[in-house]
Structure 1
Amino acid sequence: MVDDSIPVTVLSGTLGAGKTTVLNHVLRESDERDLAVLVNDMGEVNVDADLVAESSDISEEEEELVELSNGCICCELRGDLLDAVGALTSEREFDALVVESTGVAEPLPVAQTLTMGFDQSDLDPTEFYEETGIEPLERCHLDTTVTVVDAHQFHEAMESEEILDDDGTKKHLGDLLVEQVEFCDVLLLNKCDLVDEETLAEIEETLEALQPRAEIVRTEHGAVDPDALVDTGRFDFEDARTSAGWIQELQEPHESAEEEHGVTSVVFEARGPFHPERFADYLDSFPETVVRAKGHFWIAGRGDEALTVNVAGRSIRVGPGGTWVAALPPEEQQAQLEANPELEASWDEEVGDRNVMLVVIGTEMDHDAIRADLESCLLTADELEEDWSTYEDRFPTFDYEEAEEEGDNADADAQEEVGLAD
């Protein structure tokens, strides 16, 4: 990165959280800092770009405002995003760039695009690069990722059954909100004037549990100091990618102390497998006090594959977790053990690396009940001796060869929403 590289801020948030209001406030209050803006909207007409142009001095005519419409920059418009960033930064006429993503965008793939550029294996060189020979990211760097959260609608969004359509990709509202919270440097808790102090404190505790690394800033009507969002130097891709609360709990398992508003976490570990029928039934009646749960598990009858579970609000998804090392041919197994000392240290003589590890985050959770319910899903001593193939398995199946070909996002893309009882 060159010394005068242009800092880029990515502004995320679900529909109606107040991203455009925040952006317009930042534009008005930036004083001597000259900002360029890239606005992404799912519609053919970019309504957000029109609102930015109407509410500020910025304009398309001066080439400070770029619209990316009819698609999302976290998936189908990633090449267009690089094109636009390259064109904007090829002749420096501004001090910083703010990218407002669409309300259905996940910030992690946007950050990957703005960090890795063409190093993403599935992304072809853009028109800008082919015409100019200039790497789109040569003159800029991702500086800050910001997520705007609607305090007034936070609990409703987490509990909502609403499914959003991202150009044919279905996204659960609560799941999307959690993903936006878990990958950011700054959390703007907006519309605080519509919520009482006790509720705000409870929401903040939940946000801190989901993303311990982010700075939380309360705002009303999107009014925030531009210095909190622009040219902060806060972004580090690896820190952002591994700083979600559930990841930290899995890496350093511990049971959190009871907070004032009861936001706590439970880590559950086991060597034996879940009974597929009992665990499916448990997921069908998952406690409503749980805000977030994630991890991997082993079910009886599937000795080769690990599965993942991903709970965010009312969304419960099960996905592929890969092949257990214990299921590999002896030569490959030995190679994996030699390459991973931690794996070898935790290896069990009977089951190898097969295990269950889940983290559960929630409000006013009954830890003993959750732990007891999960333990009751494990096979009993007698069941360990039974024929596991006789158990009903309602969990989805996955094509691992196809998932490997699809690359890093295969796990998330392949996950299936459950209602397993349906």
Structure 2
Amino acid sequence: MPSNTKPIPVTVLSGSLGAGKTTTLNRVLNANRELNTAVVVNDMGEVNVDAELVERESDLSQNEEDIIELSNGCICCRLRGDMLEEVGRLAETRDFDYLLVESSGISEPIPVAQTFARGFEDASFDPTGVYELDTMVSVVDAYGFWQGFDSGQALTDAAVEPQGNRVPEAALMDQIEFCDVLLLNKCDLVPDEALDEMEAVLRALQPRADIIRTEHGNVDPDEILNTGRFDFQRASQSAGWKRELQGGHHHDAAAVEHGVESFVFEADRPFHPERISHLLADLPDGVIRAKGFFWSAGREDVAMGMDKAGQSVRAGPSGTWIATLPEAEREQYFAARPGIEDDWDEEWGDRGTELVFIGREFDEAGLIDRLEDCLLTDGEMDDDWSQYPDPFGVDEQRELALADD
């Protein structure tokens, strides 16, 4: 590409199945006809229905190669290389000004962003310098989210088969937590009071993004095109649970008004594995998001991770305690992060628990009491922990059975 040619800006649309991504895409295309746009449409199915809808409802034509179909897989995993090859082919002609990407309903946005920002080792085309991520957009189905709140049911379509061991609700949380603009769509189907409540929750989950209410995908194109808002580092650190762990806890007025709560549970002794697994499988319905790491007695070799997204709860091995590393590696950590040594235990090192909980109208004090009851008692600290039954997976996190299953 000539050095004097500016990179092609890219907007990526993510969102759960049925949230209104394709409708939003078509609204933007039809409202901004002067912008010469190319489109990538990703669909999990063998037949890319969304691409047909874009072609039929806009001025774009697949015969003119304005629309790229990527079907039967996700651009966040198996189709990453395919996507780069296609957008690389488009860039050779450079007869368009902007690239709009609609990812599949279960795509995770971070790998898609990484593909454009850093390239992909299995692809021959390097997008850096040719394309430039401009805005990451997530579309949330306000009606589906509201129904989930009202009934305590899943926040996404539970009938969708998980892909790559990622359940749909976890993908939805990824989409909410990693974006620059969050479109709360189908607002015409939800009472204003419920919308205010949902927006308070979404702001707790994603404090950095602009939240825009839409109906039928109607959004001003200037809100999601040429915004210049994308910053990979900031986006990666913007999730509400990360802010909590970093000490950025606060409740704004809207959150307080609508009962949105969050807290960090910390402990320096291990959980009893059976007790904590039962609790994690039976968290209050009001807890929408929870994440972090914990120490499970008998698994001193590995940090256990927990990730709750909606009704889905996954837990299991998720990392390494610094205390288990060779001395030279430990010293490198100490040099890079001096604060670690301040909390270092002579016997157990950095083993401990930090779990973040975000939700609405749940009994925070009661949940803290239940968590504390899961910790080993003074008497159990002297037990042979290797004799405790271990309900967690050996090598990876797994879905915990819910109490009412």
Task: Give TM class, smaller chain.
Answer: over 0.9
Instruction: Note closer, same or farther for the CA distance 1:216–1:2 as it changes in structure 2 (3 Å cut).
Output: farther
Q: TM-score of the superposition, structure 2-length normalised?
A: 0.92
8 Å CA contact 1:6, 1:96 repeated in 2:
yes
8 Å CA contact 1:41, 1:68 repeated in 2:
yes
Instruction: Note closer, same or farther for the CA distance 1:94–1:263 as it changes in structure 2 (3 Å cut).
Output: same
Counterpart position of 1:195: 190
Determine if the alignment matches structure 1 residue 392 to structure 2 residue 383. Answer: no
- Counterpart of 1:304 (choices 301, 304, 308) is 301
Counterpart position of 2:175: 180
Counterpart position of 2:57: 55
Counterpart position of 1:39: 41
Please state how far the C-alpha of 1:332 moved relative to its aligned partner: 3.7
Counterpart position of 2:363: 366
8 Å CA contact 1:290, 1:363 repeated in 2:
yes
**1:275-301 CA deviation, whole Å, 9 max, x = no partner?**
112111211221111000000000111
The one-letter code sitting in structure 2 at the alignment partner of 1:415 is Q
**1:30-64 CA deviation, whole Å, 9 max, x = no partner?**
14222111111112221101100110111112221
Please state how far the C-alpha of 1:331 moved relative to its aligned partner: 4.1
8 Å CA contact 2:334, 2:340 repeated in 1:
yes
Stretch of structure 1 that moved more, 191-200 or 172-181: 172-181
- Which structure 2 residues correspond to residues 227-376 of structure 1 after superposition, within 5 A? 227-252=222-247, 254=249, 256=251, 259-376=256-373
SS in structure 1 opposite 2:257?
A: coil
8 Å CA contact 2:288, 2:309 repeated in 1:
yes
SS in structure 1 opposite 2:323?
A: helix
- Counterpart of 2:122 (choices 115, 120, 124) is 124
- Counterpart of 1:218 (choices 202, 213, 221) is 213
The one-letter code sitting in structure 1 at the alignment partner of 2:397 is Q
Q: Distance in 2 between matches of 1:79 and 1:54?
A: 27
Unaligned runs of 5+ in 2: none
The one-letter code sitting in structure 2 at the alignment partner of 1:385 is D
Please state how far the C-alpha of 1:4 moved relative to its aligned partner: 1.8
**1:69-128 CA deviation, whole Å, 9 max, x = no partner?**
12110110000110111112222212211000111111111111111103xxxx3233xx
Counterpart position of 2:137: 146
Q: TM-score of the superposition, structure 1-length normalised?
A: 0.89
Instruction: Note closer, same or farther for the CA distance 1:3–1:249 as it changes in structure 2 (3 Å cut).
Output: farther
- Counterpart of 2:102 (choices 100, 109, 112) is 100
Stretch of structure 1 that moved more, 75-84 or 324-333: 324-333
**1:195-225 CA deviation, whole Å, 9 max, x = no partner?**
0001000110111111101100110110100
RMSD: 2.0
The one-letter code sitting in structure 2 at the alignment partner of 1:244 is A
Please state how far the C-alpha of 1:3 moved relative to its aligned partner: 6.2
The one-letter code sitting in structure 2 at the alignment partner of 1:211 is Q
SS in structure 2 opposite 1:94?
A: coil
**1:256-313 CA deviation, whole Å, 9 max, x = no partner?**
4661110110111111111112111211221111000000000111112101000011
Please state how far the C-alpha of 1:227 moved relative to its aligned partner: 0.6
SS in structure 1 opposite 2:176?
A: helix
Counterpart position of 2:399: 417
SS in structure 2 opposite 1:267?
A: strand
- Counterpart of 1:164 (choices 160, 178, 193) is 160
8 Å CA contact 2:317, 2:393 repeated in 1:
no
Please state how far the C-alpha of 1:333 moved relative to its aligned partner: 3.0
SS in structure 1 opposite 2:345?
A: coil
Counterpart position of 2:26: 24
Instruction: Note closer, same or farther for the CA distance 1:2–1:342 as it changes in structure 2 (3 Å cut).
Output: farther
Counterpart position of 1:408: none
8 Å CA contact 1:83, 1:136 repeated in 2:
no
The one-letter code sitting in structure 2 at the alignment partner of 1:239 is R
Unaligned runs of 5+ in 1: 130-134, 399-413
Counterpart position of 1:409: none
**1:156-194 CA deviation, whole Å, 9 max, x = no partner?**
45732815336x534323222111111111000000000
Please state how far the C-alpha of 1:319 moved relative to its aligned partner: 3.3
Counterpart position of 1:401: none
SS in structure 2 opposite 1:231?
A: coil
SS in structure 1 opposite 2:47?
A: coil
8 Å CA contact 1:90, 1:139 repeated in 2:
no
Q: Distance in 2 between matches of 1:176 and 1:125?
A: 24
- Counterpart of 2:200 (choices 200, 205, 216) is 205
Instruction: Note closer, same or farther for the CA distance 1:416–1:155 as it changes in structure 2 (3 Å cut).
Output: farther
Q: Distance in 2 between matches of 1:138 and 1:330?
A: 41
Q: Distance in 2 between matches of 1:24 and 1:171?
A: 28
8 Å CA contact 1:270, 1:357 repeated in 2:
yes
- Counterpart of 2:375 (choices 363, 375, 378) is 378
Instruction: Note closer, same or farther for the CA distance 1:278–1:256 as it changes in structure 2 (3 Å cut).
Output: farther
SS in structure 1 opposite 2:140?
A: strand
Calculate percent identity across the aligned residue pairs: 54
The one-letter code sitting in structure 2 at the alignment partner of 1:125 is A
Please state how far the C-alpha of 1:2 moved relative to its aligned partner: 6.5
**1:364-403 CA deviation, whole Å, 9 max, x = no partner?**
02111111111111111222122222222211111xxxxx
Q: Distance in 2 between matches of 1:157 and 1:16?
A: 15
